[in-house]
Structure 1
Amino acid sequence: MTRRLFWKILIGFWITFLLIIEGVWLIFTLRDAPPREHEIAQSRLVAEAQLADAAFALEESGMAGLDALLADWPAALRARFGLWGAGATLPMADNTLTREAVAADGSRWTLSYDATPVPRVRPGPLDVPPPMIYLGIIGGLVFSAGLAGYLTWPIIRLRGGFATLAGGDLAVRLAPRMGRRRDEIADLAKDFDAMAERLEALVSQRDQLLNDVSHELRSPLARLQVSIGLARQNPERFDAVLHRIEDEARRIDAMVGELLSLARAEAGPPPGDDYFDLNSLALAVIGDARFEAEPARLTIASNLDAGRVEDVLIAGDAELMRRALENVLRNAIRHAPAGSTVSVDITPGPDRVAIAIADEGKGMAEADLARMFEPFVRGAGAHQGGFGLGLAIARRAVLSHGGTIEGHNRPGGGLEVRIELPVAPT
């Protein structure tokens, strides 16, 4: 794999480091600061010492001794020294020091010395000291390599994780491989893990659904094959066998219809520019349920009957929500004992509305409550019909509207399903 980003970061930061060093050196060389006080004091001390030496040589050895002393001085120091005869007018400057001396032959002289600090020699812009060059090359290389590795190493891990995920391994996780990082790249790895977990759950649910569908279809298809075989072996029972085939065909058709409803619920509602009145929808569902509950002598009670519940506006698909309420209410009717009561209560709130549908049946085992909204899961009373898709459809419909749904056993017996939906803003 080509590590293009690594080399881009390495070379880019390395060059930047070198340019910073060169820029600092340019600022240093171009800055023309005046001599500092200690430099002036040091120059005066040197000037006084030079004058004292020259005066001593002149007094002890005359002009020959002074010339011998000046010959040992550097040219720059000799240029600062001056010798003046008695009565001469000296061109005095601000930093010029003078001293009177009497030569060995008795002549009088005045010695002068320019104590101006030696001007600094301004280096060229490319005359970078070797230590700074070494710092730029070695230090910049180490810093840039570390930074490039720090940034590209997790990206390489992310790329490998995506490749593994694309290869079909949905169990790959990247957050544990990020070490102790606490930055945006570590957050990206956590988001990747969340995506992988979601994909793994969806694929697992799909596989489980396909397995459940194949299992549910196997029985009616097997009965169809048996019926066809009986019709061929015994033509006299053709009418009875045909009636059996029609029943199994209707059963398969109903199951396919439930699966289509489940797929529609999973697809979610249309864009939220459609609104419906929850109370009117619930009253329509309760009216249909009362008609179906008459043979079992069940009573459908609701706080909507008194007309004291304020109207509730919901954004979403009215038909999909009607199907959800209908499935939950039918499930309660199916499990309620004859002569009992099924209640449907709506409690509006400022932001959300609660719908509670409860029966007086046996309830569900605690182990089944967590799975009651999964496809093809049946609790007690499964012998009464149904495919175990009704509550799964209800859950998908409620979730697609931004709501929640949960079930729990009532203290006095029976099951209560509670639905909460967000209220459309007015």
Structure 2
Amino acid sequence: MKQCYPRRLFTKMLGAFLFVFLVISQVIWLCFSLLTHHDTPFERDQRSLQQVQLSSIAAVIAESGPSAVPSIVSQWDPEIQPKVEILSPTTSLPEADDDKCCIPMVVSQRIEDKAGKHYLLMLDYRELDRFDGHDHRSWHDAIHIPTPMMFFAPCLGLFFSLFLAWNVTRPIRQLREGFAKISQGDLTVRLFPSMRRRYDELSLVAKDFDSMVERIDVLVKAREALLHDISHELRTPLARVQLAVGLARQSETNIPQSLDRIDLETERLDRMIGELLTLSRAEHDGIDIDQYFDFIALLEAILLDVRYEAQQPKVDVVAHYDSLKSVTVRGNAELIRRAIENVLRNALRYSARGQVIVVKLEVDRDTLQLTICDSGPGVAEEKISSIFDPFVRLQSSLSGKGYGLGLAIVRKVITAHHGEVSATNRPEGGLKITIRLPRWPE
């Protein structure tokens, strides 16, 4: 959609650039004039004309004598014909006029011809209107700018200002159009390809703009995929509930079995909705992370529950940490507990009878690192980067027990606490998940 702009910024920048250009050109010319000459261009031209005429007549007298002077003077324009007087060298010169004009009204020169005679040549300009002693300076002479520059400087300044104003306001218009397209739901707009050749801060702004749009696009697609996955996951237990209700209506003998199925599917729905609520809480900044708790005490409570659950599959849970040390963490203790429990229960689910789950806590000055290693089948390398996404379940006989939200909750909770979580396959088999959290300084 074509946008209409008031172009106020363009007009302001054009006027500012043009004004600055003219001021700078005026200042430069003024400084040049003050440092080189003290008279106006008109005065310099008239003084130069006087010197040319005086030199020409002096050369004629020196070569041909005074008789040749009228012939050369008659060839000049009447406006510039001075009164020529050839006097004896002993004649005294007239006094200079005390006038504001810097153009001399009488110029003279002593000459010697070929015969060795000496003359005093005097040119009198007092009767000429061109040299009447009045101020012939024009308004542009008063501001020390010659006539050609009065036309050339504004044109050059206008061209220069137009280029600068266009060069600065064009990317701003592109940014505005990009934001307008985003507001209309178009997330395919990209600005950096058309601005990459600027090599300035505006090209960096365009690059950051593209990164922002890409991030928004990823988030929108993730929301749509999450909504699709939630709809799909809810549809299956609801279909089973509807089937159980239909079977119960067909025969009274099916009622107990149908009620058990409804109770089971309701429990699954409740568990999935609870995990979705936890994921939603961990995804927003509204969670309370202003609590302070002892991480080691929290870890011991978690391990106590997990070891109790590990009795039936005969899985051993081994922990390595200093139980006498206190490690204070700032955050939401309940969410941290849920995240660590999800990792441990996930490791317990994929561990076979007699295998070992190793929990190791390493603490340094600023951070703590918790590693949880199991001896299960591990994860395919091409899928290991996606196991923290919602509703991602591995193709395994054990994957049907969950909804693929546990590790997604772990990542959201740890990220909300300014930490990091990662997963790698162990060389000896199994999966290793590393959780890093900032430690509150003692």
The TM-score bracket by the shorter chain reads 0.7 to 0.9
1:418 alignment partner AA: T
User: More deviation in 74-83 or 145-154?
Assistant: 74-83
> Structure 1 pair 75/11, CA: closer, same or farther in 2 (3 Å)?
closer
**Alpha-carbon distance in 2 for matches of 1:53, 1:75:** 21
Q: After superposition, give the CA deviation of every residue in 1:119-161 in whole Å (9 maximum; x if it has no partner).
A: 9988444344342133223222222222222122222222222
**Alpha-carbon distance in 2 for matches of 1:100, 1:156:** 75
Q: After superposition, give the CA deviation of every residue in 1:225-284 in whole Å (9 maximum; x if it has no partner).
A: 011111111123323322221211111111100000000111147576433222222111
**Alpha-carbon distance in 2 for matches of 1:6, 1:135:** 23
Conservation of the 8 A alpha-carbon contact between 2:289 and 2:417: no
1:341 alignment partner AA: V
TM (norm. structure 2) is 0.77
Residue 343 of structure 1 corresponds to which residue in structure 2? 358
**Alpha-carbon distance in 2 for matches of 1:294, 1:336:** 12
**Alpha-carbon distance in 2 for matches of 1:41, 1:138:** 31
**Alpha-carbon distance in 2 for matches of 1:89, 1:122:** 30
1:330 alignment partner AA: R
> Structure 1 pair 271/131, CA: closer, same or farther in 2 (3 Å)?
farther
| Pick aligned residue for 2:241 from 219, 224, 234 | 224
**Alpha-carbon distance in 2 for matches of 1:120, 1:381:** 111
Please tell me whether residue 366 in structure 1 is matched to residue 381 in structure 2. yes
| Pick aligned residue for 2:140 from 118, 126, 131 | 126
| Pick aligned residue for 2:216 from 189, 194, 199 | 199
How far the C-alpha of 1:80 sits from its partner, in A, is 11
Please tell me whether residue 138 in structure 1 is matched to residue 141 in structure 2. no
> Structure 1 pair 200/382, CA: closer, same or farther in 2 (3 Å)?
farther
| Pick aligned residue for 1:214 from 200, 222, 231 | 231
| Pick aligned residue for 1:316 from 331, 335, 339 | 331
Q: After superposition, give the CA deviation of every residue in 1:389-419 in whole Å (9 maximum; x if it has no partner).
A: 1110001111112221111111111111111
Conservation of the 8 A alpha-carbon contact between 1:51 and 1:113: no
> Structure 1 pair 79/21, CA: closer, same or farther in 2 (3 Å)?
farther
Conservation of the 8 A alpha-carbon contact between 2:292 and 2:329: yes
> Structure 1 pair 382/133, CA: closer, same or farther in 2 (3 Å)?
farther
Residue 398 of structure 2 corresponds to which residue in structure 1? 382
Residue 157 of structure 1 corresponds to which residue in structure 2? 174
How far the C-alpha of 1:47 sits from its partner, in A, is 6.6
Please tell me whether residue 239 in structure 1 is matched to residue 256 in structure 2. yes
1:144 alignment partner AA: S
Conservation of the 8 A alpha-carbon contact between 1:269 and 1:400: no
> Structure 1 pair 51/370, CA: closer, same or farther in 2 (3 Å)?
closer
> Structure 1 pair 10/334, CA: closer, same or farther in 2 (3 Å)?
same
| Residue identity (%) | 39
Residue 313 of structure 2 corresponds to which residue in structure 1? 296
Residue 13 of structure 2 corresponds to which residue in structure 1? 9
> Structure 1 pair 113/54, CA: closer, same or farther in 2 (3 Å)?
same
**Alpha-carbon distance in 2 for matches of 1:156, 1:336:** 59
Match of 2:353, SS state, is coil
> Structure 1 pair 132/89, CA: closer, same or farther in 2 (3 Å)?
closer
Conservation of the 8 A alpha-carbon contact between 2:296 and 2:327: yes
How far the C-alpha of 1:175 sits from its partner, in A, is 0.7
How far the C-alpha of 1:345 sits from its partner, in A, is 0.3
1:251-330 to 2 correspondences below 5 Å: 251-268=268-285, 270=287, 273-304=290-321, 307=323, 310-330=325-345
1:404-419 to 2 correspondences below 5 Å: 404-419=420-435
Conservation of the 8 A alpha-carbon contact between 2:187 and 2:214: yes
Match of 1:424, SS state, is coil
How far the C-alpha of 1:162 sits from its partner, in A, is 1.4
Which segments of 5 or more consecutive residues in structure 1 lack a partner in the other structure?
102-107
Q: After superposition, give the CA deviation of every residue in 1:342-362 in whole Å (9 maximum; x if it has no partner).
A: 111011123322110011111
Match of 1:193, SS state, is helix
**Alpha-carbon distance in 1 for matches of 2:243, 2:194:** 57
TM (norm. structure 1) is 0.80
Match of 2:311, SS state, is helix
Conservation of the 8 A alpha-carbon contact between 2:191 and 2:209: yes
**Alpha-carbon distance in 2 for matches of 1:98, 1:369:** 104
Which segments of 5 or more consecutive residues in structure 2 lack a partner in the other structure?
40-44, 97-103, 124-130
2:202 alignment partner AA: I
| Pick aligned residue for 1:248 from 251, 254, 265 | 265
**Alpha-carbon distance in 2 for matches of 1:98, 1:194:** 82
2:213 alignment partner AA: A
Residue 127 of structure 2 corresponds to which residue in structure 1? none
Conservation of the 8 A alpha-carbon contact between 1:334 and 1:384: no
1:241 alignment partner AA: S
1:414 alignment partner AA: G
Q: After superposition, give the CA deviation of every residue in 1:352-380 in whole Å (9 maximum; x if it has no partner).
A: 22110011111122222111111111123
Residue 104 of structure 1 corresponds to which residue in structure 2? none
**Alpha-carbon distance in 2 for matches of 1:157, 1:22:** 36
| Pick aligned residue for 1:397 from 413, 419, 427 | 413
> Structure 1 pair 246/43, CA: closer, same or farther in 2 (3 Å)?
same
Aligned residues: 408
How far the C-alpha of 1:337 sits from its partner, in A, is 0.8
**Alpha-carbon distance in 2 for matches of 1:349, 1:281:** 18
Please tell me whether residue 148 in structure 1 is matched to residue 162 in structure 2. no
> Structure 1 pair 47/344, CA: closer, same or farther in 2 (3 Å)?
same
Match of 1:126, SS state, is helix
1:126 alignment partner AA: H
How far the C-alpha of 1:170 sits from its partner, in A, is 1.3
How far the C-alpha of 1:190 sits from its partner, in A, is 0.9
Q: After superposition, give the CA deviation of every residue in 1:25-72 in whole Å (9 maximum; x if it has no partner).
A: 55556668469xxx9999999878867978999x978xxx99999999
